[in-house]
Structures are given as C-alpha cells and as structure tokens.
Chains A and B, each alone.
Chain A
Amino acid sequence: MGIVEAAHNVRVIGREGERGTIVLAHGFGTDQSVWKHLVPHLVEDYRVVLFDNMGAGTTNPDYFDFDRYATLEGYALDLLAILEELRIGPCILVGHSVSAVIGAIASISRPDLFTKIVMLSASPRYLNEADYFGGFEQEDLDQLFDAMRSNFKAWVSGFAPLAVGGDMDSVAVQEFSRTLFNIRPDIALSVAQTIFQSDLRSILGYVSVPCHILQSSKDLAVPVVVSEYLHQNLGGESIVEVMSSEGHLPQLSSPDIVIPVLLRHIRYDIAV
C-alpha cells in the first residue's frame, strides 16, 4: 500500500464488474463512514473506492499541510493522486458537499478520469452577493470565524475548545459549524477559511463532465437556488433533483429518501 493510500485510509471494496468504479468522496467534518448506508447497495455491482480527505478525523493530523490545503486545488490534487495511484480508469465520482466541488475542479484538468460526477449538497460559493444567493451573510461568517478563533486560542493554550456551532445566531452557520467543529481547531479554522473564500463560479463553465446535482429541499448551508445556479452554469450536461430530505448530511440523516435517489443517478446517465 502506497503512502497516498495509507494517508487517506483508502479502501477498495466490491468486485470489479463491467459497471465500473465508483469513488465516494466525503465532505468536511465527516469521514468515509458517511457513506455507510450507500456502500452495501454498490458493492455487488461496482468497485467502490473510499477515502478520507486530509484533515478528517481519521487521518493523521501531522500530514495536514496548511499551505497545500489553503485552496481547494490541494484537495483536488489529492483526489487525482489517489486515482493515479490506484490506476483507476474513468470512474463515477460521488462527492458530498465540498468534495463535489473538489471533484469538479479535478475533472477540469483530467476529464478523462471521470465519466460523471454526482454532486450531493454542493455549492460553488457560500456567501451572498448582489446577484447571487449563497446562503451566508458576511456577519454570519465573522461570528463563525470568531468562535473558531477563540476555540483555536483555547486549544493553543492547552484547553480543549468548547465552543460549538449551536450557540450562534444564524441557523445556517449552526448547520455548517456542526461539521467544521469535528475537525481539529487549527485545521478547522484553516478549512473554514478555505471553504468560505472559495469561489468556483468562474470555473464552472470549464467542467465538461456530466453532473448530477442532488440537493435536500431544506439544507441550511446550501439553499436550493444554488443547485439551480450550478445547473445553469456548469459547462457540461447536468441534471438537478431536489429531494424531500432535510439537512446538509442527508445520506446520514434520511438514508431512506437519499439512497434510492443516489443509486438511480449512479446507475442511469442523463438521457439526451
């Protein structure tokens, strides 16, 4: 097992069938276990690759390079490295939250590696702007960053942090911070800044791989209009499905609704 695989806790399961390979990429604050409800449905037909993003709770914190992961490109390079290392040909990427966007970035440089990307609760930009509704106001974020900084200070001074998102006013921030606070405080701060500074709206047009955009009807971190925005602006084909689930982690909180939808989008391509 190579370094990349070991560092990312890469696991390959399922049999290699003619239906190809699926890569499952988790979002921030979680790890590959968010896919536990989905995986049993896939292992019969597909080869399934699971991995942890750097900075997730299960990875070695010493490997987290603050410069590399200051932008989402760092994560995209990781994803490409894993695919290279495993010599995976064209695959289906199922990305949750930020990982969906990371997949999109990776697919711009290597479109040959991806047959399609299934995006679950993805957003190219979280901040509201004059002509764009991302769901977060700058004040909300300032509050979030303040909480994270105090958390970080507490951590540096030897006390484990205690602040948690639920104390904050904005419900959207609460939703987001829930996952962010699962990461080590210094990493969480860096990650939060990376996520909220990211603005991928300009590169969406370069994505040529077909994208299936899946979205909870009630996701406080990602408003429904964002999925419409993605649909309008992605360079390749795309399709949107809004599910009746709630929350930013619908594959965990309401698997009954989400898993069948996910499977449908994995099995069938967009009809032309």
Chain B
Amino acid sequence: MREIRSPSHVLLASILPLQFDLPFPFRRNPNSFKINTRFHLLRSILPPSSYRSIRSRCGAQSMAAGAAASATHVHDLPEPILAQVFSLVEDVRTRNAMALACRRWRGLERSTRTALALRGHVRLPFLLPTCFPSVAHLDLSFLSPWGHHPFLSSHQQQQHHHDFPDDHAALVAARLAQAFPSVSSLSVYARDPSVIAALAPLWPKLRSARLVRWHQRPPNLPHGADLAPLLEACPALSALDLSQFYCWTEDVPPALHQYPLTAASLTRLDLLCPASNEGYRSSELAVITAACRNLTHLLLPCVFNPRCIEFVGDDDLLALASACPCLSLLHLVDPATLSPARIDSDANEDAAITGSGLEGLFTRLPHLEDLALDLCHNVRDTGPALEALGNKCSKVKSLKLGHFHGVCHGLWQHLDGVSVNGHLESLSIKSSPDLTDSSLATIARGCQRLSRLEIHKCHKVTAAGIKKLASKLRSTLVDVAISGCQLLNATSALRALEPIRDRIERLHIDCIWASSELDQLPVEEEESDPEEDDMEAPDHSRSKRCRYAQANDVESFESASFWFRTWERLRRLSLWIPAGEVLTPLGDAGLECCPQLEDICIKVEGDCRLCPKPRPIVFGLSFLSRYPTLRKMKLDCGEAIGYALTAPAGHMDLSLWERFYLHGIGGLIGLYELDYWPPQDREVNQRSLSLPAVGLLQMCSSLRKLFIHGTAHEHFMRFFLDIPVLRDVQLREDYYPAPENDMSTEMRVDSCSRFESALNDRRIPD
C-alpha cells in the first residue's frame, strides 16, 4: 500500500489545482450521482483542512456556475489520472456510490479497488466476483457464518446435508486465485491448518498475512502446524499478524525456526493475542528474535513474572535488542494486560527488569519510535533509564509504561524522567504509584508535542494535575484517557479537562459517579480548587491547595449548572462503567453537549450477580439521544457476568440485565452502526442474545450495521428483519473460546444461512 500511495500523492498534487477549477461536471448526470458524494470523494482524498475550504468554495461556486455550463468535464482528464484519483478513494460506500455513476466509472472503480472484504457464504465457486482484478488486500475473515470456512474445509461439513468434497474446496481455492490474482495481503479465519494450506499456495508472493481464530486450537496438532503451510508457501512474507489468532506460545517459535528464510524476511510480527493468557518465555523469545533478524515491528506478550521459570529479564531484553537492531516499534506486555477485563494486580513483586537493563535496551535500539512495556510487576527507579531513552532514541513518539516507578518525579524545575523525551506524541502511564500532579506538570513542560495521554490507575494524580497539564498542552492535546485513578471520578476528570474542552477529540473516562462513592469526598474538596486557579499559575504547594479546598466547597455545587458547556470537537467518547451503575449522571458530570460526537464506546464490567436490583430500572441509553451526530456505538457488556439461565430467587438473570442495559436504545435516532457484546455467564460460556435484547434492538430503526459478539436464536434474529434499512448483520463469537460449532452455539450454519437469505431478499430502500 505504501509503495502505491506515495508516488500517487505527488501526482495528485499536480492535478488537484486543475480539478478544483472544474465546476464539477457531475451535473451532467445529476440523478445518478448524489451531490454530496463528490464531497465524500474529496474528503477521502484530501487532508481535512483543505477539504473544508474547498467545500465552502464549491458550495458557492456550483450555485454560481449552475447557469453557465462549463465545457470542461471530469472525463476530459486522461484515463490514468482519473484512475489515480479513483485509487485514492478509500471509503467503501463512496466507492460503491461512484461505481453507480456510470459504466465508465464502474469500470474504473472496479479496476482500482485495492481492498476487499468478502462477506456472505460462497455456495457456488462461480459466483465469486471476478471484476476486482487489482485487489491487493483480501479479507476473508468475516465470511458468514462467522468462524466457518465451509467451502474450504470439508470435514466440518460432513455432518450437514450439503457435503463439500475435497475437490470442491480445491476448486473454490482455484477460483479465488483466479478472481484476485494480485493479492498481497490476506486476512483469513483459520480454524484449522487446512484453510491456510489451501489458500497460502495460491499467492506465493504474499507480503502480509493476518490469521484469525477465536476457536480452540485443535489439540492434537503438532506445534507450529498452523503456521507451517503459510511460512512454507509464502517466502516473501513481511508482515504476520496473529493478534486475533489463538494458538499456544509453543506454536510460533518452532514454526519460525523451521522456515528460516521466511522468518528472515519478516519485518512485522504481531503476537498480541488477547485470547491467550500465556506469555512467551525467555527461550521462546530468543528463538523468535534469532529467526527474525530484520524485524522492525515486534509486538508480543512476555512472561515477566519472576516466579515463573524462564521469565524475561534484563538479559533477555538486551539479547532481543542485539538480535533485532532495526526495531522501531517494540511492544512487550504482560499477557494479563491483554485480557478484556480489568485486572486487579496491585503487584508487590518486582519484575526482573531494571533501569540499567532498560538503558542497555535503548542504547541498542536507536531507531525506536514506539515503545510499550506494559508489565504487571514493578519496575523501580526508571527515571534515569527514561532520560536515556530521550537521549539515545530521539525518534520516540509513542510510549506506554505499565507498573513503572519513578517515571517522572517533577520535584525541581529541571526536566527529569520521561519528560526528557521532547518528541513524544503519545504517552500512556499505567499503574505508576508515584506519579503525582507535579510529575504531570513536568511532563507537560517537557513533552510539548503530546497529543495523546492515557493515565490508568495512577492513584496519586488529582484533577489539579490533569488540569495543569491540559492547560499547558492546550495546543496539542486532543486525546485523553483517564481510568482507574482513585482520586479522579467522572466529574472531576471532566472538570480537569476544562482547559481543552473546546479542542479535545477523543476522550475516555470511567463513569464513577461522585455521589456513589463516599470515600471520595475529600477529592471533591480538592478538585474544586483548580477552578480558582490561574491557568498559568506556577506550581504551588499542597498546603495552599488545602486552604482553598474548604472555601470552595459550596461553590462546586453552584457551578454544577455552569458546566453545561460544549465539547466542540469531541468525536469519540469511551466510557467504562461498573455493572449495575446507570449512565444518566453523565450530563451532570459535564458531558451535556457534544455536537460533533460520532462514536461512543461503552464498556460495562463487573459481576451482576453481586449487584442488587438496580433502583432506576433503566441504564439510560436514551440519555445519549442528546448527541445529535451519534452514529456508531459499541456497547460492550461482555465483561458483565450474570446468571444465564437459572438465577437464584431475588436475582435478575441475564435477560433482565440486557433489558436494563439496552432500554432506550430505540431513541437514538441517527444510530447507524452498533456493536453489541451481550453479557455473559462464565460458568456455561454463554453470551447469548435474549428476547428483551432483541426487542429493544429492533427499535433502532436507523440501524444499518449490527454486529452481535455472541450467539442468538434464529427466531430472535428474525426480529431484526423489521429494521427497514438494516443491511449488515453478523454474529461474531470473537471471544475465547468461541463456542464450538458442534455443541454449544444457538445459531447453527443452517439457521444463519436462512437468516441471511431473508435479510438479503428484502428490498433496499436506498
């Protein structure tokens, strides 16, 4: 992709001025092409700022030029240039709209399409679309029914009445190769090695591969058997993404060791799979790095626990750095941090990683740009090492540190620790027990390009520190995530972000409501102080703050209405909320008005079995209807745990909890895309959609895409057919272990196919 794009940008720069002067001759066939689409077209091509200026200019221009028809037409552009323009449009719906404009455009669109995600169920190999000859990125991981490859692996289908013999699989594979000859990047759901064995030989020049598997690894396979066919057939592979592929840690090293040529050509290796809770041991790490010497991107989970055998320590980091000196992106994390649930690891033990070891690592990796060391064990006195990082690796832009002590002391006026890294654009500090407000102030002074900041479980940070940082980084900071900090509840976090309220674009907070936490009262006092603070005030001592605290206690109540203010540029909001809590206090906390908010992500976590029946019987999704541009929502109740089938007396079972959470979702009028994770019952590994959930989802009349990350009964799915514009529905059991087809899923292949044909048989209103 890179290789194609960069020259075309140069080319585009030469043709764009020409194009702007064109009075957009799509007017010749106005019925076939919506006016807005051309702006979409431009939006996808241009950087946002120039797009806006063009749009405003063109608005006036097209009205003025309406009468005086111009002789110049977009079709007067030479074919190669037009093709080049087409190839820069990325948005799929825009492309589809363009293809509908006229035959020539359709031909152009088809021939320039580079990425295609196939959906549906290939029953007949000759129905595969052959009109996309230049597709380079082929995504087969979302084929329906999700998680199956009925046309490739025949043995799963023996139970069903439409048996696919092996030669049929070979035929489909051959058809795929014929239809998409130039694939260089492939994503595929590989439930067993036969899928890769059938596909990989089709495209021997494959550069990038992404395997997906949430089902259990077939237990009787030899180690590495999943990867061997791929590594064998595609010696030019440079990127291997296993971040959604469940396998054992014993699988990867032998496979890489066995195919040294392919391993040596790998530059990107991503092994961060949240499904696996095991990390790579030091010997496995050594095998991987020895095999893949040219890696520039390496992401993998490691055993940092010093109590385990073969844990990863200083020496292993140094060995890694010596083996792969070109690394620019290195993510080494504790496997526990990958789990979707929050972990309560207040580890008292130290990892075998020390400051001096880190210094050695940084010295040997001069090209480092993106570093994540997310541990669950303490790393002490990292200040000097992080200063060394600033000196040795001047290109570091992104940094993520977990359980690091002494990240930045901020005691004196000089910069120390992480704040020395002046080029830092993204900083994430997790579970750093000695990160204080003054550390944040120092970081704000040192890292003046910081645009993204994440703080997780830093219990000494208060609203005052965040506020000071936000006001200093007002010009750059657009993405903030604050979670798990004891001294910051939702209200105080939002107040602390007041200085960048009109600039921030992405925000994550925890919905810990002040009233529910009595032990947070002292915080309330403290946080009212920064309001009086002068934004540019120099650091001042804690004692001064305490003096303010008493005086301003009353004022914080008065200012409640004062906080109904606009978050002008906020586009993405992410919320974490404990099970049983409601959403409605969000308005009082300060997020009353977000005119640009498009995307919201809500994660519910906790044990519903321990919650009393909630008093207000609705979670409050209807509250979100005050955000006028909300189009996408992710509602993740996957980590909410309850009783699926038999709840003891006095408890609510999951169907009632689903009703609690989804109530009012029909009021979100503009909702276009919904990802929903039903709550689960761990005991039976059940995440199934219940009747009330279906009923409530059915009321979202504007929904076009619906992805359920769980299972559902067929007749429940049929309720969705009442949503008039619904086009794209899929059940994705993308959690580990995905229910095996044979016994436990409610939605079987046949019912899934029946539902999809019913969905596709409907008339499409637009």
Contact = CB atoms under 8 A, between A and B. Distances in A.
A131 to B, nearest CB: 27
Contacts of A184: 715
A57 B698 contact: no
A80 interface: no
A33 B746 contact: yes
Contacts of A32: 743
Given A162-B692, A247-B645, A39 B698 contact: no
Contact of B746 (A57, A160, A253): A57
Contact of A164 (B659, B719, B722): B659
A57 B645 contact: no
A166 B746 contact: no
A6 B691 contact: no
B161 A1 contact: yes
B646 A159 contact: no
Interface string A15-44: 000000000000000111101100100000
B676 to A, nearest CB: 15
Nearest to B698: A160
Contacts of B698: 159-160
B731 to A, nearest CB: 13
Contacts of B696: 160, 162
Nearest to B694: A160
A179 interface: yes
A90 to B, nearest CB: 25
A220 interface: yes
A9 B695 contact: no
B646 A252 contact: yes
Nearest to B719: A160
A61 interface: yes
A5 B745 CA distance: 18
Contacts of A162: 659, 691-692, 695-696
Interface string A232-272: 00000000000000111110110000000000000000000
A144 to B, nearest CB: 15
Contacts of B646: 175, 178, 246-250, 252-253
B645 A249 contact: yes
Interface residues of B, number: 42
B674 to A, nearest CB: 15
Interface string B646-658: 1111001101100
Nearest to A250: B646
A171 interface: yes
B652 A166 contact: yes
Interface string B677-692: 0000001100000111
Interface in A39-67: 39, 57-58, 60-61
A253 B609 CA distance: 14
Label chain A's interface by main secondary structure.
loop
B744 to A, nearest CB: 5
B203 interface: no
B715 A61 contact: yes
Given A166-B655, A248-B646, A159 B695 contact: yes
B121 interface: no
Interface string B5-26: 0000000000000000000000
B640 to A, nearest CB: 16
B743 A33 contact: yes
Interface string A148-181: 0000001000111110101000010001001101
A31 B716 CA distance: 14
A164 B696 CA distance: 13
A154 B715 CA distance: 15
A11 interface: yes
Nearest to B697: A160
A203 interface: no
Nearest to A38: B743
A253 B695 contact: no
Contacts of A13: 742
B757 to A, nearest CB: 13
A182 interface: yes
Contact of B713 (A58, A154, A220): A58
B649 A171 contact: yes
Contacts of B649: 171, 220
In this complex, the member of B646, B690, B754 whose beta carbon has the largest number of chain A beta carbons within 10 angstroms is B646
B714 A58 contact: yes
B655 A164 contact: yes
B699 A57 contact: no
B748 interface: yes
Contacts of B648: 246-247
A57 B743 contact: no
B49 interface: no
- Among B652, B655, B754, the one with the most A-chain Cβ atoms within 10 Å of its Cβ is B655
Contacts of A57: 713-716, 746
Nearest to A33: B744
Interface in B701-746: 713-716, 718-719, 722, 742-746
Contacts of B161: 1, 6
A181 B691 contact: yes
B223 to A, nearest CB: 24
Contacts of A166: 647, 652-653, 655-656
29 contacts: A9-B750, A33-B744, A33-B746, A36-B743, A39-B743, A61-B718, A160-B691, A160-B695, A160-B696, A160-B698, A160-B722, A162-B659, A162-B692, A162-B696, A164-B655, A164-B690, A166-B647, A166-B653, A178-B645, A178-B646, A178-B647, A181-B655, A184-B715, A246-B648, A247-B645, A249-B646, A252-B646, A253-B646, A253-B684
Interface of B: 159-161, 643-649, 652-653, 655-656, 659, 683-684, 690-692, 694-696, 698-699, 713-716, 718-719, 722, 742-748, 750-751, 754
Given A60-B754, A181-B691, 9 more contacts: A36-B744, A57-B716, A58-B746, A160-B694, A161-B691, A162-B692, A164-B656, A246-B646, A253-B684
